[in-house]
């Protein structure tokens, strides 16, 4: 209990310091304009949100990799893309939390928790629907857990999103924002657009790999140079190794299924 109390006191002190010393983006812009200071990624615009997405993707992948090592006992790739260690789900999560909730930095924790729980749950559900409908595969399945919705989300992880929203807005984001703004303006702009091109290519190839893996399973031959390139460089075995939790599924049922007790059974959707 003493350790928990010390952690809680540390959190309260850190939160208070961040709220008072790390200005809210709108106020930052006003102060910079008054003193004529030109800052890279000022406020909460495109450049700031892009770097939040990029860094959130990298650190999210790192956290999941370490978590799997501790809980499962082995190192496994948690990246969403074929190149680089980037988890798009984490990056988009940080992006959305920042975009929609950064104005709540000064509000009490309970309001941020509720907003983060709802936003995070909706985001995770839509990501699951998107990957299943577009690529015919899922990266996670909570059918074996209680209080799940169609196996796509569950109450426990929605609460984790709420906790993450508090920690993100009160501690992590303000410090990350300050760090991003320390990048020289010209270097930041050039580097941003180089990374935009890289991520566009990376996401496109990753999507093509997932789509082609599904069509290969259906016995469809490559019909163009892109599909031939994917077949030559990204076999189904390579993709399966890269995405350890990837499961190919049949089209999911449209009916809403809420499970409060025993594991739910979805049409053709395998458990983890």
Summarize pLDDT for 216-227 with one digit per residue, the tens. 877 888 888 888
List of the chain residues with pLDDT < 50: 23, 252-255, 262-272
| pLDDT on residue 147 | 79
CA–CA dist 177, 16 (Å, integer): 17
- For the record, the structure tokens of 224 come out as 């163009």
What's the whole-model pTM score? 0.72
| pLDDT on residue 253 | 44
| pLDDT on residue 19 | 55
CA–CA dist 202, 19 (Å, integer): 37
CB 154 within 8 A of CB 142: yes
| pLDDT on residue 3 | 76
| pLDDT on residue 172 | 87
Q: How many helices (H) and strands (E) does the chain have?
A: 10, 5
């Amino acid at each position: 209990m003493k350790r928990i109390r010390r952690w809680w006191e540390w959190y309260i002190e850190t939160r208070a310091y961040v709220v008072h010393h790390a200005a809210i983006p709108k106020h930052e812009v006003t102060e910079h304009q008054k003193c004529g200071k030109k800052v890279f990624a000022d406020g909460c615009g495109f450049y700031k949100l892009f770097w939040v997405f990029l860094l959130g993707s990298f650190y999210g992948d790192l956290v999941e990799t370490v978590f799997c090592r501790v809980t499962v006992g082995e190192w496994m790739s948690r990246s969403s893309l074929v190149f680089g260690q980037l988890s798009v789900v984490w990056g988009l999560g940080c992006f959305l939390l920042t975009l929609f909730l950064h104005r709540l930095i000064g509000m009490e924790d309970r309001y941020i928790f509720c907003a983060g729980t709802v936003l995070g749950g909706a985001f995770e559900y839509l990501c699951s629907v998107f990957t299943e409908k577009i690529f015919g595969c899922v990266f996670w399945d909570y059918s074996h857990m209680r209080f799940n919705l169609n196996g796509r989300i569950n109450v426990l992880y929605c609460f984790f999103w709420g906790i993450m929203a508090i920690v993100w807005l009160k501690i992590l984001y303000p410090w990350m924002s300050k760090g991003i703004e320390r990048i020289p303006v010209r270097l930041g702009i050039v580097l941003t657009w180089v990374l935009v091109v890289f991520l566009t290519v990376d996401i496109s190839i990753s999507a093509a790999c997932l789509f082609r893996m599904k069509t290969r399973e259906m016995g469809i031959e490559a019909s163009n140079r892109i599909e031939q390139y994917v077949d030559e460089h990204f076999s189904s075995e390579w993709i399966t190794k890269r995405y350890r939790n990837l499961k190919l599924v049949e089209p999911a049922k449209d009916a809403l299924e809420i499970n409060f007790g025993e594991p739910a059974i979805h049409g053709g959707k395998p458990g983890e």
